[in-house]
A and B are shown apart, each in its own frame.
Chain A
Amino acid sequence: AQTVTQSQPEMSVQEAETVTLSCTYDTSESDYYLFWYKQPPSRQMILVIRQEAYKQQNATENRFSVNFQKAAKSFSLKISDSQLGDAAMYFCVMSGANSKLTFGKGITLSVRP
């Protein structure tokens, strides 16, 4: 069985500062994907970043980057130069090659002006 753990329910960051959201997971599969999705107040799920498990290089998307530690089964998201629009609920998600997605509980990020 796959599990995704986001142990922090809430975090707060000052605008323009950097924040790291933690996520750990467990799976017996060797081939899988990891994602961070953002859900703003509109509730539309938005893909933030994606990481293929077979790639050692950490994915980056502009101000967003991940620290993927496969052996430790850790997949944290770093948001640099935080903006007010980054305030949202963030979900860490895992997908096996042919299996359904497993969601973490989510973390609510607030950005202080």
Chain B
Amino acid sequence: GAVVSQHPSRVICKSGTSVKIECRSLDFQATTMFWYRQFPKQSLMLMATSNEGSKATYEQGVEKDKFLINHASLTLSTLTVTSAHPEDSSFYICSARGIIGTGKNTGELFFGEGSRLTVL
């Protein structure tokens, strides 16, 4: 199956610094990528949808200037948490949906391993 790699898996940073999380589709073209945030024992909360070559679409309540998303190529999307604060500490997960094999979009999402962000 398709593989999505997310890096780093864990990051600890000081308050006020910026952190970048990368999401790569390793064996397929990811025309659309999604970024989620997950609190303990809760469901995934969609933060934004990014389409290759265009601006990301943010969900209501998500600060665009706080969470910068770039999807410059068909295999890479990045999430940058700017001026991070302790309340930004969370588990962030990326997922990708794209065209695979014969060109069929199965609707399935392929998830990265997730990134645990801790802001001190």
Chain A residues near B (Cβ < 8 Å): 32-33, 35, 37, 42-45, 47, 50, 89, 91, 93, 95, 97, 100-101, 103-106, 108
Contacts and interface: CB of A to CB of B under 8 A. Distances in A.
A7 B108 CA distance: 24
B46 A97 contact: no
A47 B93 contact: no
Contact of B43 (A47, A95, A97, A106): A106
Q: Is the interface of A mostly helix, strand, loop or mixed?
A: strand
A33 B43 contact: no
Contacts, number: 47
Given A44-B114, A91-B43, A106-B43, A101 B91 contact: no
B107 A95 contact: yes
A89 B43 CA distance: 9
Interface of B: 1, 34, 38, 41-44, 46, 49, 91, 93, 95, 106-109, 111, 113-114
A89 B106 CA distance: 23
Nearest to B115: A43
20 contacts: A33-B108, A37-B111, A42-B113, A43-B113, A44-B111, A44-B113, A45-B93, A50-B106, A50-B107, A50-B108, A93-B109, A95-B108, A95-B109, A100-B34, A100-B46, A103-B43, A105-B43, A106-B41, A106-B42, A106-B43
Given A33-B106, A101-B109, A108 B43 contact: no
A28 B45 CA distance: 22
B32 to A, nearest CB: 9
Contacts of B114: 43-44
B108 A43 contact: no
A97 B41 CA distance: 29
A101 B108 CA distance: 9
